[in-house]
């Protein structure tokens, strides 16, 4: 008899050694079932809890295989977007006036909905993004935990209300955090459920209403996750869905009635949003997470096996398409050969292919543009350095129906080569040798970004140097499950320093929700 899905073990990105046989058995039956349920039918946008199909329909296919049609979605017209903002404003007075406990109750209902539909959403994510099974299920588990964490933070902070000191015995002051109004939420393709739900939940639990635009590559998961919010009986209009690309995104950011933007995506787009919001008559919140160029340091005292595992998983998990991916490794001269041998062995053993299959670690990259970026990077390595492994696109059979590239490790590039400095969002790792850790860390810091960083060391002095000097919001030491990846709600926080973030507070942590609020002081004579 198949196991009850509610009793299956949880997948968390980092519990890699657990036995997931039962999870795989469940997915074996669910994947074909879910694929059979997909249709080319158009899914209209969701405005005030109703369908809105005004705009241009577009068809989306899976990056695994262009013959798998995920559905058709509607690029919202300017009028439809305007209606969505209007619907959110209409819902705002009632939603923001609810006690925080009532909002938390609604969102706990949303979390239960995600729990109930966990594996269906995982499969949607697998097919839409090309994630491996473990990455896909891990993402939905992360989603459930982050909703509950943000609700728990609301409770732990008494809805963000605090009594202040009294100047006189009859004068009472309370400081409260209150919502801004309507947030535009713009999310990327790579964690289409977790990152969308994180931003939507942060906005909603704080009392804001939302107009949500998923990535144009993630309309299917975008629709399914909105169904989970709608099922929790939020007032119609509290959260609205508009699909589309840059045009809809720009219209949302530029809409005069928007009160804040939450964005996760590239540095270039994030900064464009930031500058465009700064041109308004007064400052509005921009909560942005904007990518990374995340270094790992493998010191002479490192445990080579652990380091090779962590670096490989962090560079190539989800095909390197995480803002947390470790795309550059600094290796100490004294252990260079041993470490590279271990890393190459693991990398050459990676199974690439259709991630519906449980043995596959790497699926396709997201689209033709990513594959072309890979080609440009590979050509540049051939000219100015060399590959230890990889460097080729894959072809033949399934590989011709999607965008499949090899996990690639480049060495011998010039010190300031662009592949050492710029985020690629590809399974592409560059290697630098070092002898002086302090200088290596300074070099790792000398990029635009500051999201995550990792170290492998058994010496406390090296560890302390790293913790003190690394300029990034998320630091990890000696992790086999990922050198720079795998942050989890309530466990790590995910704060982008420098070009990786705009607000200097992180997702998944205790200071996330207050970013969606503004302070008000209430002094009342008793
Ligand atoms: C991202 O990397 O794009 O820490 C978002 C991690 C995950 C993903 C974060 N929580 O690797």
CA 377 to CA 257: how far, in whole Å?
42
Ligand 1 probe mutation, 134, 310, 324, 449, most atoms within 8 A of CB: 324
* 138 contact partners, CB below 8 Å, separation of at least 6: 11, 12, 13
CA 233 to CA 221: how far, in whole Å?
19
Give me ligand 1 centre to Cα 211, in Å: 23
- Phi (first) and psi of residue 499, to 5 degrees: -75, 0
Ligand 1 probe mutation, 322, 327, 488, most atoms within 8 A of CB: 322
CA 324 to CA 321: how far, in whole Å?
8
137 close to 23: Cβ distance less than 8 angstroms = yes
69 close to 38: Cβ distance less than 8 angstroms = yes
Catalytic residue list contains 125: no
List the catalytic residue out of 125, 209, 323, 495: 323
For the entire predicted model, the pTM comes to 0.98
29 close to 2: Cβ distance less than 8 angstroms = yes
Provide the sign of the torsion angle of the four alpha carbons 509, 513, 517, 519, taken in this order. Answer: negative
Give me ligand 1 centre to Cα 72, in Å: 28
Give me ligand 1 centre to Cα 514, in Å: 21
State the closest ligand 1 atom to the C-alpha of 264, by its place in the atom list counted from 1: 3
State the closest ligand 1 atom to the C-alpha of 324, by its place in the atom list counted from 1: 2
CA 123 to CA 472: how far, in whole Å?
33
CA 147 to CA 137: how far, in whole Å?
16
State the closest ligand 1 atom to the C-alpha of 142, by its place in the atom list counted from 1: 10
Q: What pLDDT tens digit does each residue of the chain (526 aa) get? A: 556 888 899 998 888 788 999 999 999 999 999 999 998 889 999 999 999 999 999 999 999 999 999 999 999 999 999 999 999 999 999 999 999 999 999 999 999 999 999 999 999 999 999 999 999 999 999 999 999 999 999 999 999 999 999 999 999 999 999 999 999 999 999 999 999 999 999 999 999 999 999 999 999 999 999 999 999 999 999 999 999 999 999 999 999 999 999 999 999 999 999 999 999 999 999 999 999 999 999 999 999 999 999 999 999 999 999 999 999 999 999 999 999 999 999 999 999 999 999 999 999 999 999 999 999 999 999 999 999 999 999 999 999 999 999 999 999 999 999 999 999 999 999 999 999 999 999 999 999 999 999 999 999 999 999 999 999 999 999 999 999 999 999 999 999 999 999 999 999 999 999 999 999 999 999 9
Residue nearest to atom 6 of ligand 1 (CA): 486
pLDDT of residue 14: 82
Give me ligand 1 centre to Cα 421, in Å: 19
Residue nearest to atom 9 of ligand 1 (CA): 324
SS3 of residue 178 by DSSP: strand
pLDDT of residue 2: 58
186 close to 139: Cβ distance less than 8 angstroms = no
What's the token pair of residue 76? 């919202």
CA 230 to CA 222: how far, in whole Å?
12
Give me ligand 1 centre to Cα 36, in Å: 30
State the closest ligand 1 atom to the C-alpha of 325, by its place in the atom list counted from 1: 2
* 97 contact partners, CB below 8 Å, separation of at least 6: none
Give me ligand 1 centre to Cα 236, in Å: 31
11 close to 138: Cβ distance less than 8 angstroms = yes
pLDDT of residue 448: 98
Number of helices followed by number of strands (H, E) in the chain: 15, 22
Ligand 1 probe mutation, 424, 486, 487, 492, most atoms within 8 A of CB: 487
Give me ligand 1 centre to Cα 308, in Å: 20
Q: Which residues lie with the beta carbon below 6 Å from any ligand 1 atom? A: 190-191, 322-324, 485-487
Query: In order of start, what are the domains of the chain with their CATH numbers?
Result: 5-290+505-525 (3.40.605.10), 295-488 (3.40.309.10)
What's the token pair of residue 450? 């500051």
List the catalytic residue out of 128, 135, 289, 388: 289
Q: How many CB atoms lie within 10 A of CB 329?
A: 30
CA 220 to CA 121: how far, in whole Å?
10
Ligand 1 probe mutation, 137, 187, 190, 191, most atoms within 8 A of CB: 191
What's the token pair of residue 477? 């030491």
List, in sequence order, every beta strand (DSSP E) within 96-238. 161-163, 171-179, 182-186, 209-213
Catalytic residue list contains 423: no
Strand order, beta sheet including 517-525: 161-163, 171-179, 517-525
Q: What is the four-CA torsion angle of 487, 489, 490, 496, rounded to 10 degrees?
A: 60
């Amino acid at each position: 008899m198949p196991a009850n899905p509610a009793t299956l073990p949880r997948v968390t990105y980092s519990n890699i050694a657990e036995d997931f046989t039962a999870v795989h058995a469940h997915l074996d039956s669910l994947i074909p079932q879910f694929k059979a349920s997909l249709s080319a039918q158009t899914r209209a946008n969701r405005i005030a809890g109703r369908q809105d199909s005004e705009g241009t329909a577009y068809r989306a296919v899976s990056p695994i295989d262009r013959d798998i049609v995920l559905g058709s979605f509607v690029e919202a017209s300017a009028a439809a977007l305007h209606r969505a903002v209007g619907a959110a404003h209409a819902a705002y007075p009632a939603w923001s006036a609810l006690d925080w406990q009532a909002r938390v109750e609604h969102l706990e209902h949303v979390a239960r909905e995600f729990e109930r539909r966990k594996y269906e959403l995982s499969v949607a994510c697998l097919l839409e993004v090309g994630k491996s099974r473990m990455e896909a299920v891990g993402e939905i588990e992360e989603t459930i935990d982050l909703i509950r964490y943000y609700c728990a933070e609301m409770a732990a902070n008494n809805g963000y209300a605090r009594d202040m000191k009294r100047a006189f015995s009859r004068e009472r002051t309370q400081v409260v955090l209150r919502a801004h109004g309507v947030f535009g939420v713009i999310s990327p393709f790579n964690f289409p459920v977790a990152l969308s739900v994180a931003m939507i939940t942060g906005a909603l639990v704080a009392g804001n209403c939302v107009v949500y635009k998923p990535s144009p590559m993630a309309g299917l998961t975008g629709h399914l996750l909105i169904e989970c919010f709608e099922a929790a009986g939020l007032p119609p209009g509290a959260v609205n869905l508009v699909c589309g690309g840059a045009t809809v995104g720009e219209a949302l950011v530029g809409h005069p009635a928007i009160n804040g933007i939450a964005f996760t995506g590239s540095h270039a787009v994030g900064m464009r949003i930031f500058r465009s919001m700064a041109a308004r008559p007064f400052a509005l919140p921009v909560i942005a997470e904007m990518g990374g160029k995340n270094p790992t340091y493998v010191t002479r005292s490192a445990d080579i096996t652990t380091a090779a595992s962590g670096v490989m998983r962090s560079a190539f998990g989800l095909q390197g398409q995480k803002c947390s991916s470790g795309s550059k490794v600094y290796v100490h001269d004294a252990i260079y050969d041993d470490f590279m041998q271990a890393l190459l062995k693991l990398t050459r053993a990676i199974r690439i292919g259709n991630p519906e299959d449980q043995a596959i670690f790497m699926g396709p990259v997201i689209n033709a543009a990513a594959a072309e970026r890979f080609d440009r990077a590979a050509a540049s390595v051939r000219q100015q350095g060399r590959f230890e492994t990889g460097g080729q696109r894959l072809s033949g059979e399934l590989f011709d129906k999607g965008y499949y590239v090899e996990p690639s490790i480049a060495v011998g590039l010039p010190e300031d080569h662009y592949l050492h400095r710029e985020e690629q969002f590809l399974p592409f790792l560059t290697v630098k040798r070092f002898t002086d850790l302090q200088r290596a860390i300074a070099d790792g810091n000398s990029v635009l970004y500051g999201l995550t960083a990792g170290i492998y060391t058994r010496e406390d002095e090296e560890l302390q140097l790293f913790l003190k000097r690394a300029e990034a919001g998320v630091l990890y030491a000696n992790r086999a499950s990922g050198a720079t990846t795998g942050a989890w709600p309530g466990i790590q926080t995910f704060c982008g320093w420098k070009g990786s973030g705009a607000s200097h507070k992180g997702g998944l942590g205790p200071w996330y929700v207050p970013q969606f609020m503004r302070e008000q002081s209430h002094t009342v004579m008793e």
